[in-house]
Amino acid sequence: MTRPGLLFYCQHSLGLGHAVRSFALAAALSERFRVVVACGGELPDGLTAAGEVEIVALPALSATRNRTLVSRDRNLGETRRRRRKLLLETLRSVGPAAIIVELFPFGRRKFADELVPLLETARGTTPRPLVVSSVRDLLVGRGPDQHAHDTLSCVLANRYLDAVFVHSDPRFARLEESFSPAIPLRVPVHHTGFVVQERRAVGPTDGSDPRVVVSVGGGRVGAPLLRAAVAARSHLPAELRLEIVAGPFLPDAVWTELYEAVLRTPGIELHRFVPDLADKLRSAQASASQCGYNTALDLLRTGVPALVVPFVEEQEDEQTRRATRLERSGAVRMLDPAQLAPKMLAAEIEATLEFRPRRLDLDFSGAQTSAALLAGLLEGAALPEKVAV
């Protein structure tokens, strides 16, 4: 029996979290669908989607720390034109029964120039594909622009979407906690549980290795924690080793700086990238990291004593809100990034070695639940025509 086609749009710009979550979701979906992922960000070697997932690599765009989009070929306008063309060609080629757009329109609005033409074309297709937005547990705050931003997001959602999948356990976070438009959202919202990678079973940590894993996700904004960790080594017990995962997007100049510093500092092992952080955490005595979606789930599933230093910049508050909730629940310890300094980090790491995290009863079946939900929606009544709003 031929599997129905599914086009999955994924764009990671600053880090790797969106790609990791989207690939885990795509792998689960591939058991029921022919999944084609249109991926718009840079992918490091070793990061792949499991299962029978086809990848269409859009000309890559990434973001600087001030959220400016940049193209590797330095011609941003031409890159964006090529992306729009390839997306529409992929839509026609796949003829999907469903389209999943990662985060849009709740985020990714800088990519509206390619997503709106994609979704408008899909609206005019017969039969019309079902359109779902894939959203993480917490949306980024928008400060004084929050109300206006959310209201426009709601207008776009009501026009283009048939459902919203929020990849969170609703006991931890619900969409309405970080989304407050002035008009009603008329699209059904489904909280699926958290989406995790299923490369191998993840059991609790055994803490057998006198080692602390330090990680910063993709690494593009991880330099402060990494520098502090290297400098903190001299303030830690001699028998305690640091295993540092710098991230594939850490700027080359910072990587060279860290590499040279590690050569002068005994007791540190340095990696550019590891495809499975949870595997590293399982035998470690502790972790020091940021608090992105995927890292937080690895910490929770392994139960490793964890110190989190959330990334925060301007209105970027998602990691802080996640870290605060986890700290209040007793699952992690948190260090305010404003207090990040080598001696302070060393003291906090030593305190974390004595910390016994509380195991949280959360739903980690989000990938499988999303696949079942999407199949159920497609098996329902024929989709009505979307009306203009």
Same domain, 190 and 46: yes
Is residue 125 situated within a structural domain?
Answer: yes
**Tokens found for residue 130:** 């079902």
Same domain, 347 and 292: yes
Contact 276, 23 (CB under 8 A): no
Same domain, 128 and 192: yes
Same domain, 155 and 18: yes
Same domain, 13 and 99: yes
The CATH number covering residue 244 comes to 3.40.50.2000
Whether this prediction's pTM lies above 0.75 is answered by yes
Strand partners, 334: 308
Same domain, 135 and 243: no
Q: How many folded domains does the chain comprise? A: 2
Q: What is the pLDDT of residues 186-240, one digit of tens each?
A: 999 999 999 998 755 455 565 567 999 999 999 989 999 999 999 999 999 999 9
The range of the structural domain enclosing residue 302 comes to: 209-353
Q: How many helices and strands (H and E) does the chain possess?
A: 11, 15
3-state secondary structure of 175: helix
Q: What is the pLDDT of residues 326-380, one digit of tens each?
A: 999 999 999 999 999 999 999 999 999 999 999 999 999 999 999 999 999 999 8
Same domain, 44 and 190: yes
Reported for 48-51, long-range contacts at CB under 8 A and 24+ positions apart, including other chains, are 48/23, 49/23, 50/23, 50/197, 50/198, 50/199, 51/26, 51/27
